[in-house]
Chains A and B, each alone.
Chain A
Amino acid sequence: MKARGIAVPSGRVATTVAQAVAAVRPLIEDSGNPVVVVKSQIHAGGRGKGRFKEHPELGGVTVVLAGIDGGVQAAEEAVEELAEKMLGSTLVTIQTGPEGKQVNRLYIEQGVDIETELYLSVVLDRAVSRNVLMVSTEGGTEIEEVAEHTPEKILKATIDPAIGLANFQAADLAYGLGLEGNAFKNAVGFMKALTAAAAELDTDLLEINPLVVTKDGNVMALDGKMSFDSNAIFRHPHIAEMRDDSEEDPAELEASEHDLSFIKLDGTIGCMVNGAGLAMSTMDIIKYVGGEPANFLDVGGGATADKVTAAFKIITKDPAVKGIFVNIFGGIMKCDTIANGVVQAVKEVGLQVPLVVRLEGTNVELGKQIIDESGLNVVSASDMKDGAQKIVELTK
């Protein structure tokens, strides 16, 4: 962000207690501000209000004031104590779910003299097929809450992709936020830099919350969140490298290596489907007939038998899976490809749970023949509701 002209407070990443402590002195000496902030680095929002499972008294973001009276050494000691508690502990926020996420990285940041806190984000407005810059005076709160209770406090500018954010648009928003003087000028610059960064980095969402205005009229991003368009990641190898595999579900990670779209769920019926819409509604129909899906899995249009085998293995690895439902309506995906993949997978990993297969579409007869001739213990279904009912019945 810094490299793109987006002002942020100085800070350092720490993965050990020693690194956290070592960060304190240079930050205080550089900024002349005796306050530092210790932030948990996990891929989820709501960290400020989040609490640690092991230390319920402790928030995910903690301001260390000890340096005001006690100087650098007191600040270091306070950071040491915090880092010992935070590193390796589990932070539960509104976005992590009740199981929380383990904190393996901290960010030690300089303190800032805050005058006001604002909200800024660049996000796609699907209704107009363009990015929109959204700003609000309600910094520090979840924007969804602002949108629901006080929508008049959100100001927007639609960004023309050929022009970017025009000066007058940024100025309108800065006026709307009630900014004056240096803060106004700096905010206009910040907004233009932010929208340019969103375009350059192919972000789905680029959110600064809060954007702080300091007492001397500087504006800087105190916290932020970015998500990237995975379709565009090929032109941003440095972003792909930033992905922290330890925070991903291992099965989802394995699936992504095979270019499968997979999401782990809490149920007992594994699903293998072609097409996102069909995969989603296969989950829905399993629930509708009284079962619980164990996953979302779209093998995609151009899948090979090997890819289908990989998908099948990922499903059977999950110990919660008590049955498998393969639901295919072949378009590009040919039913014989699916059938070959399933047969190959069962030969490799065996089949300990009931398997219901519903095939329709391109090469359906060939697919059915392959399954029939394989000698596998497979239950055929005539349509997807029939298939869902059968697998739910078989896993009771």
Chain B
Amino acid sequence: MSVLVDTNTRVLVQGMGKTGRFHTDTALAYGTNMVGAVHPSKAGTVEHFEGETDHSGVQGRGDTYSADLPIFRSVSQAVEATQANASVIYVPPPFAADAIMEAAAAGIELIICITEGIPVADMVIAKRYLEDKDVRLVGPNCPGVITPQQCKIGIMPGYIHQPGKIGVVSRSGTLTYEAVFQLTNNGLGQTTAIGIGGDPVNGTNFVDCLKLFNDDPATEGVIMIGEIGGTAEEEAAEWISANMTKPVAGFIAGTTAPPGKRMGHAGAIISGGKGTASDKIAALDAAGVVVAPTPTDMGTAMLEALG
């Protein structure tokens, strides 16, 4: 078992530019079920992929893969032709919020937006648009979602993952990789790893993911990785106290971040004395989360939380 994505996930790519093509290729090598792409200027053509199989991905495949993905003008056309139920967005920032809304309008159930640098106001509008629709958005500004050896959607390196029993949820891309790699090395492995992204306005949040993992029978524990800015970690801590039945380990980045400075991510900023790492660590601590003192200790913290 897993959450959000598995072998039944049929993935559409929005934005088959250089970046989109590169990551579509690695997803195909991994064995993800990629069904097509939307890229208006290439509509009607076919994008060809071939190469060596990534054997850390879906098992039981040959040593090479070859695929021809049809390119469509719009998401609705693509959905009609391919029955895609998930989409991954590599569209440039000025157009990405619109791509999210287009996917939602076309009935895509899971939208994963990788694009970094979307204007906040655009995301406020996109999020309002999604409000009354039965759709889940992950991101933007995130590495994506992966269920090891089943489905890889996004930009994470596949080989660091291994099927297992820990759910991973993170605001930071590279820190997700750190956590995942430690879980692979200590043998716990992952059910699903979800990057929720570092923007101030995003789709799926910590609490959403904690709920999913709490309800997933295969998940035995969760690592959540937060950072300075906002109050999402505090809200998660509250939810964990009240509802979580599984052990949780955590890490918060930004203990040494100076106030008022945006630390790379638009969302990672301490403003008006709010959103500090120490507040977040204290909240998680109080909720019984084992907080790792450094990112290198995340795997150990998970082992400790499992008891």
B residues 189-229 in Cβ contact with A at 8 Å:
198, 200-201, 225, 227-228
**Chain B residue with Cβ nearest A333:** B174
Q: In the complex, what's the smallest C-beta–C-beta distance from B123 to chain A, in angstroms?
A: 7
Assess whether B201 is in contact with A277, with CB atoms less than 8 Å apart.
no
Q: Out of B93, B177, B264, name the residue touching A331 (CB < 8 Å).
A: B177
Q: A361-B160, A362-B157 are in contact. Are A131 and B172 (CB under 8 A)?
A: no
Q: In the complex, what's the smallest C-beta–C-beta distance from A39 to chain B, in angstroms?
A: 21
Interface size class of A (residues with CB under 8 A): 35 or more
Assess whether B263 is in contact with A276, with CB atoms less than 8 Å apart.
yes
Q: For the complex, give the distance between the alpha carbons of A124 and B174 in Å.
A: 26
The answer to whether B121 has its CB under 8 Å from any CB of chain A is: yes
Assess whether A281 is in contact with B260, with CB atoms less than 8 Å apart.
no
A residues 340-395 in Cβ contact with B at 8 Å:
360-362, 383-386
Q: A126-B201, A144-B272, A277-B198 are in contact. Are A263 and B124 (CB under 8 A)?
A: no
Taking CB atoms, residues of chain B closer than 8 Å to A202 are 119-121
Interface centre among B124, B125, B297 (most CB of A within 10 A): B124
Assess whether A329 is in contact with B174, with CB atoms less than 8 Å apart.
yes
Number of interface residues of B (CB under 8 A): 65
Q: Which of B1-9, B34-42, B238-246, B288-296 contacts A (4 or more CB under 8 A)?
A: B288-296
Assess whether B177 is in contact with A329, with CB atoms less than 8 Å apart.
yes
The answer to whether A337 has its CB under 8 Å from any CB of chain B is: no
Interface centre among A288, A330, A331 (most CB of B within 10 A): A331
The answer to whether A1 has its CB under 8 Å from any CB of chain B is: no
Total cross-chain contacts (CB, 8 A): 172
Q: For the complex, give the distance between the alpha carbons of A261 and B265 in Å.
A: 9
B residues 103-129 in Cβ contact with A at 8 Å:
116-125, 127-128
Q: For the complex, give the distance between the alpha carbons of A278 and B180 in Å.
A: 14
State the main secondary structure of chain A at its contact with B. Answer: mixed
Q: In the complex, what's the smallest C-beta–C-beta distance from B26 to chain A, in angstroms?
A: 9
Q: Which of B45-53, B57-65, B70-78, B249-257 contacts A (4 or more CB under 8 A)?
A: B249-257
Taking CB atoms, residues of chain B closer than 8 Å to A3 are none
Chain A window 183-217, contacts with chain B (Cβ cutoff 8 Å), 1 for yes, 0 for no: 00000000000000001001010000000000000
The answer to whether A180 has its CB under 8 Å from any CB of chain B is: no
Interface centre among A130, A277, A288 (most CB of B within 10 A): A277
The answer to whether A147 has its CB under 8 Å from any CB of chain B is: yes
The answer to whether A265 has its CB under 8 Å from any CB of chain B is: yes
Q: In the complex, what's the smallest C-beta–C-beta distance from A272 to chain B, in angstroms?
A: 13
Taking CB atoms, residues of chain B closer than 8 Å to A361 are 157, 160, 177
Q: Out of B93, B124, B251, name the residue touching A129 (CB < 8 Å).
A: B124
Taking CB atoms, residues of chain B closer than 8 Å to A283 are 256-257
17 cross-chain CB contacts under 8 A:
A124-B120, A124-B124, A124-B201, A129-B201, A162-B128, A230-B266, A235-B119, A278-B253, A280-B227, A280-B228, A280-B257, A293-B256, A296-B263, A332-B19, A361-B160, A385-B294, A385-B296
